[in-house]
Structure 1
């Protein structure tokens, strides 16, 4: 018998990391999301093996740092060399680039990830915090009714008709939500190369230390067969092997095909075992819009890319963070202009997505060359200088931030750019900035602007605190000491009295003079039609 579900704030389709993180952020704001997942349980084998600092900040804000760093996330530390290498067909180094890069704050830019452990912790946290997860339940349609959305699904409880104010599709590259909503996906393919993924577990870490290139992340640009080798926690190694014409998916996953390819590294059946094999065809593309009415998309449902920039999971977490505070605004103030915020979500994330998809596709074309003469030309190109890497810390435009003045880089304030977190001291307590701001807006004042909030109108400060969940901090030894100096350097370097940071840690805008600070806050309030 069909079951009528109660009204929900948000239905999230897909219980991967993106959907789980989005649900936890919404729950932290007091909302009641429900997750629908077609599988009975999480996928138990590794997928993504790297995670970047922006994602770490989000997970830390959710209060998961200690548990995640016990089993899911590790700093590669002394286990891996400082530089990753691109190697030619003759075993010569073409180029090297930092693999353990440090940010200005001194924290690592990236970490090793064991995705099954991450997903287990996220799912357990959702359940313990009261987020409902409907497993083994398949969504068949999503219908936007203008005032709400109807989701039809089949599961252990029979046919379900669920209603919610918004629906977010986090249901992967073959997204049912995307197809049901009629959101167009634009292909941006490279050479559609086919790859075999092999995760190997050694008998012991000591055994793995004897393997060739065991301490190195390396791309082997051999025109005979391109391969990638990277560390994978905990004490594992991953090889990604390009398949050649005529090699079938079934054939290449057999041990008799895999072991000979790994033998040159010293990895053999007598000192290791194959934990996982998988095959896939590289694809690229993005949705023309990440939302349509009350239906939104995030993660692989909105975009896919070849994995050379390690942006699959990381870009999905960026989507979830960028979308979450907009959803909270729309849920809290349904009569306001939340549609504009969702339009900005699309343009901001589509812009970033296009940069990394195009760059990853370009790398696929370079790395997958099988003609020896073309490979020589490629190698000469790489030797001339580092390959271009897109800046993924800046949003697409237009968006919800004050555009930098055009034509003069000296006037740039870095608006629309991710703001570097740092450790700050308030009294005798040292904390990261996100621990203080949580999911709200942050106004950082230079020391000379201390007290300027007292000269602002009561209405402005009230709306800043109540509507934007805002926090105001003065950066200076008497108030909030910036231990790493990055915040003070940013304010001084840009000649700012204040900078306003969004809940997803992107710069909204800055105020040159103390008298401009109230106008900066009022600009946000007017943007969302609180007048």
Structure 2
């Protein structure tokens, strides 16, 4: 099947299959994914370079797994601090919540500190691997329009020269004040927090203590966070009547830092900025051939570190679907599942972030007193305390409808629509690697103990292979050395940690179909796999494919 190409491209100054507006982390991640599967991408950025001032400071395991999927995690990890605990303090300094989830079910530390510009830089440099990805800086969007075959954009260079762009699709990652969202007339409902916060970043950390502390001081709440490379971040609530200009004066900066440092004059200031916290959600994430992602679709307070990570979930969910549609391998209806799957979870993360902000700085004094009393009671209710301290309250994404085939209602706590685990596995040649290194950026059909192609017709096997699907047989590691017939093209791996056996043991199924974003698309046993695969073809609007359309694994 031929790939989709933008029509009327010859009349435009630039053309691409996909235009990504905004060179932030979401846009850069989408461009990296599409680049590695051969999609022609043009990234357009209003600024003359990447933003260099720190913004997000928390990156989670799901985001690291997404960066792993585009082959850049090894370059990102040196800019992170794994297992970063978050501790809430009472006004007197008592720690009433020490949140440090230690799970690594997705292959990485659940909570990590990082400095966003350094990771954005890695994502940007990653684009240089692909001749099919181009980036244009200093381009100000003038307007855009769409028709049944594509999107046309007009933009202006720093010199005032107007240029046009023609593309099949536009992905708007142009921030909370998104020009594209406003031009489309899409609502952005929610509220703005009544208080601003001043953020102060300091080099050569004058405290040096690890982790992040949120002090629930009723006079002036503040945050103290240790970041990689010896950077310390302080955040102080801006009180009514204060302005950014006044707080930036040396005497007022000294007064703020005196709350947290014994010698507020002996610091190496990197920068300071005042932020307003918003909690808003777009009324829709897609209008025709234009898709919103990241802050253009949702913004949230920083207190759970989920603004950045929610945007990365958007990128992870959208990129593979857009790639299939642009290549003509799936119908456009697949893009409908992006909003269907992501919007509810984005709202849940907004609500959680707002709640965490109220814990740090309750709107009313009596709420702070209630919070402190409840924190004492938690010490006497270990199960409840574990629920909070291990972050089990964090709503993990689970898609109940969309690009999947739901399990039988009789199956309680179904894994369908949830992210699959990523344990270390043993390859046939004796190497221990993370599971995604075997799969690559593609679909996977994984069977416990059995041949994953058994039960499929030759036509079905050919169809899924042409999509680039990875067929994997999982065995106990001890069985890898046994002589055993293996179907052509099937990869064997050893369950070296026992986690895969444990996972399959929870459900009445021995075969799992994974989407390219590592979410479970469906469950089966060998005798029902054919029916599941047929149902998935319909659910994902898949079409016949040309061979080798997605990136292979690193260790296949």
- TM-score, normalization by structure 1: 0.90
Structure 1 residue runs of 4 or more that deviate by more than 6 Å after TM superposition: none
Of 536, 553, 556, the residue aligned with 1:524 is 536
Q: Deviations over 1:361-410 (max 9, x none)?
A: 1222332236543321232234444558654432344322223444x5x5
Rounded to whole Å, the distance in 1 between the matches of 2:237 and 2:353 is 15
1:194-233 correspondence runs (5 A) = 194-202=196-204, 207-209=206-208, 214-233=209-228
**Is contact 1:356-1:390 (8 Å) kept?**
no
1:389, 1:359 → 2: CA distance? 12
Quick one: distance in 1 between partners of 2:370 and 2:413? 38
Which whole-Å CA distance do the structure 1 matches of 2:67 and 2:114 have between them? 13
**Counterpart Cα distance in 2 of 1:453 and 1:75:** 39
CA-CA distance at 1:169 after TM superposition: 0.3
Alpha-carbon distance between aligned partners in 2 of 1:370 and 1:426, rounded to the nearest angstrom: 55
C-alpha distance in 1, partners of 2:290/2:273? 32
Q: Is the 8 A contact 2:81 2:227 kept in 1?
A: no
Which deviations, in whole Å up to 9, do the C-alpha atoms of 1:280-317 show, x marking residues without a partner?
22110111211111000110010000111101111111
Alignment of 1:301-340 (within 5 A): 301-333=296-328, 336-338=330-332, 340=333
Inter-CA distance 314–267: structure 2 relative to 1 (3 Å threshold): farther
1:462: which partner in 2?
462
Indicate whether 1:64 and 2:96 are aligned.
no
Residue 505 of structure 2 corresponds to residue 492 of structure 1: yes
Secondary structure of the equivalent of 1:234?
helix
Q: Distance in 1 between matches of 2:107 and 2:154?
A: 48
Equivalent residue for 1:515, pick from 518, 523, 527: 527
Match of 1:240 in 2: 235
Kindly state the Cα deviation for residue 430 of structure 1 after the two structures are TM-superposed: 2.3
Q: CA deviation at 1:52?
A: 1.0
**Residue 485 of structure 2: aligned partner:** none
User: C-alpha separation between the residues in 1 aligned to 2:262 and 2:517?
Assistant: 43
Match of 1:90 in 2: 92
The answer as to whether partners of 1:351 and 1:397 remain within 8 angstroms in 2 is no
- The two structures have a TM-score, normalised by structure 2, of 0.86
Distance change in 2, residues 1:268/1:44 (3 Å): farther
Q: Relative to structure 1, is the Cα distance of residues 195 and 270 closer, same or farther in structure 2, using a 3 angstrom cutoff? A: closer
Question: SS of the counterpart of 2:453?
Answer: helix
Question: 2:194 & 2:38 partners in 1: Cα distance?
Answer: 44
Equivalent residue for 1:434? Answer: 436
Whether the aligned pair in 1 keeps the contact of 2:189 and 2:281 (CA below 8 Å) is yes
Q: How many angstroms apart in 2 are the aligned matches of 1:411 and 1:215? A: 40
How far 1:128 moved relative to its partner? 4.3
Deviations 1:235-282 (A, max 9, x none): 111111111111112212233222222224336355321212111221
Whether 2:154 is the aligned partner of 1:152: answer: yes
Q: How many residues align?
A: 507
Distance 1:261 1:494 in 2: 54
Contact persistence 1:3–1:159 (CA under 8 A)? no
- The answer to whether the Cα contact below 8 Å between 1:88 and 1:379 also exists between their aligned partners in 2 is yes
User: Once the 2 structures are TM-superposed, how far is the Cα of residue 3 of structure 1 from its aligned partner?
Assistant: 8.5
- What is the alpha-carbon distance in structure 1 between the residues aligned to residue 320 and residue 179 of structure 2? 24
2:53 is the alignment partner of 1:45: yes
SS in 2 for 1:193: strand
Tell me, which stretches of 5 or more residues in structure 2 are unaligned? Answer: 1-9, 379-384, 481-491, 545-556
Distance in 2, matches of 1:250 and 1:6, equals 43
Question: Does structure 2 retain, via aligned residues, the 8 Å contact 1:18–1:299?
Answer: yes
